[in-house]
Amino acid sequence: MDKFHQHLENYRVNVKEDIEKRLAFIREQIDGPGLGGAVVGISGGIDSAVTAALCVRALGKDRVIGVWMPAYSQPVHEADSKNLADAIGLNLVTVDVGPAFDALVPAIQDVLPLNDKTKGNTKARLRMTTLYAIANQQGYLVADTCNRSEVYVGYMTKGGDGLADFNPVESLTKHEIRILAEELGVPGAIITKPPSADLWEGQTDEQEMGFTYEDLDRLLITGETRPEALERIEYLHRISEHKRNLMPGI
């Protein structure tokens, strides 16, 4: 067994202990300051599923709100979001951000045209606006769902899914997230589905990044990966540095 798979096997053996550590972290963020609970954006994907499952275990279902925010989203993601809610006892609400997107994008395009990526990022920022409105009204915090793999290459939207109050999964690679998902009872269809940010039809993470999660996670876990992938990974890491640091000022 190579170093990569040995690491994952070790994580699988110790996953229950890791869960307890993350539950304690969530309680510290919410109960420490005396806040009401947590809001989690639910995408139908594995990262938000794991984040929501951890929050429900840590705080109880009455103190967690999951928000499904479609914007011309694929039906499979809605179905998976509902199945997740049933599986983990999540209070799931729906806010359709499609009408806001339809109103905002034409107004911006009166100034300059937007490509698919920029439109997708606009959806992500509308979703975060929604989460913060709910959190603000309830006295809750917004839970981030970005994992270690995504953070390393900046695969998140600044002001969108890259913005939140705390993150219970930030130190986990995508492969570790999958192991954790199994232990938390996340539905299998979510675990095996090709990861997608649901920013436009047919979009997948790996297609957009230009390498696989195994390429990326091997680098993060072992320090080694395919040479063809390494250059692209380090390029994305370099140009996304601004997403991982506080805004500079003078």
Write the pLDDT tens digit of every residue in 210-230.
899 999 999 999 999 999 999
Q: Is residue 178 part of a domain?
A: yes
* Whether residue 47 lies in the annotated active site: yes
Would the pLDDT of 198 be above 70?
Answer: no
* Whether residue 150 lies in the annotated active site: yes
The answer to whether the CB of 116 falls within 8 A of the CB of 200 is yes
**How far is the C-alpha of 87 from the C-alpha of 53, rounded, in Å?**
9
Per annotation, catalytic residue among 47, 144, 176, 215? 47
Would the pLDDT of 96 be above 70?
Answer: yes
Q: Scan for tokens 């492969």, then name that residue.
A: 175
Q: Given this model, what pLDDT does residue 199 score? A: 67
Q: How many Å separate Cα 207 from the centre of its chain?
A: 17
Would the pLDDT of 197 be above 80?
Answer: no
Q: Is residue 24 part of a domain?
A: yes
Would the pLDDT of 61 be above 90?
Answer: yes
pLDDT tier at 17, thresholds 50, 70, 90: very high
Would the pLDDT of 137 be above 70?
Answer: yes
Would the pLDDT of 1 be above 90?
Answer: no
Q: Given this model, what pLDDT does residue 157 score? A: 95
**Boundaries of domain holding 16:** 3-244
Q: Is residue 249 part of a domain?
A: no
Would the pLDDT of 207 be above 90?
Answer: no
Phi, psi of 223, rounded to the nearest 5 degrees? 85, 5
Q: Given this model, what pLDDT does residue 66 score? A: 98
The pairing of strands 64-68 and 38-42 is parallel
Question: Is the pLDDT higher at 40 or at 72?
Answer: 40
User: What mean pLDDT do residues 235-249 have?
Assistant: 94
Any idea what the CATH number is for the domain that residue 22 is in? 3.40.50.620
User: What mean pLDDT do residues 27-55 have?
Assistant: 97
Interior angle at CA 107, CA 101 and CA 110, nearest 5: 135
Count up the domains in the chain and report the number: 1
Q: Is residue 59 part of a domain?
A: yes
User: What mean pLDDT do residues 34-45 have?
Assistant: 97
- What residues are designated binding site? 41-48, 125, 145, 150, 158, 165, 174, 196, 242-243
- What residues are designated binding site for ATP? 41-48, 145, 174, 196
Q: Given this model, what pLDDT does residue 200 score? A: 64
Q: Scan for tokens 């339809």, then name that residue.
A: 102
Nearest to 47 by CA among 179, 193, 174, 198: 174
User: What mean pLDDT do residues 177-204 have?
Assistant: 87
As given in the structure block, the two tokens for residue 49 are: 């599923």
Cα distances from 76 to residues 29, 72, 133, 158, 246, in angstroms, run: 32, 12, 26, 26, 36
Q: What's the chain's Rg over C-alpha atoms?
A: 18
As given in the structure block, the two tokens for residue 151 are: 């953070």
**How far is the C-alpha of 84 from the C-alpha of 187, rounded, in Å?**
6
Cα distances from 126 to residues 49, 80, 97, 146, 159, in angstroms, run: 20, 21, 7, 17, 9
User: What mean pLDDT do residues 36-47 have?
Assistant: 97
The answer to whether the CB of 95 falls within 8 A of the CB of 73 is no
Nearest to 124 by CA among 164, 78, 65, 153: 164
Q: Which residues pair with 38 in a beta bridge?
A: 64, 141
Q: How many Å separate Cα 239 from the centre of its chain?
A: 20
What's the mean per-residue pLDDT of the chain? 95
**How far is the C-alpha of 78 from the C-alpha of 118, rounded, in Å?**
23
Per annotation, catalytic residue among 80, 150, 215, 217? 150
Q: Is residue 250 part of a domain?
A: no
Would the pLDDT of 196 be above 90?
Answer: no
Say which DSSP state 141 is in. Answer: E
Q: Given this model, what pLDDT does residue 103 score? A: 97
User: What mean pLDDT do residues 123-145 have?
Assistant: 98
- The predicted model scores a pTM of 0.95
Q: Is residue 230 part of a domain?
A: yes
Q: Given this model, what pLDDT does residue 246 score? A: 86
- What residues are designated binding site for Mg(2+)? 47, 150
Q: Is residue 123 part of a domain?
A: yes
pLDDT in tens, 156-169: 999 999 999 999 99
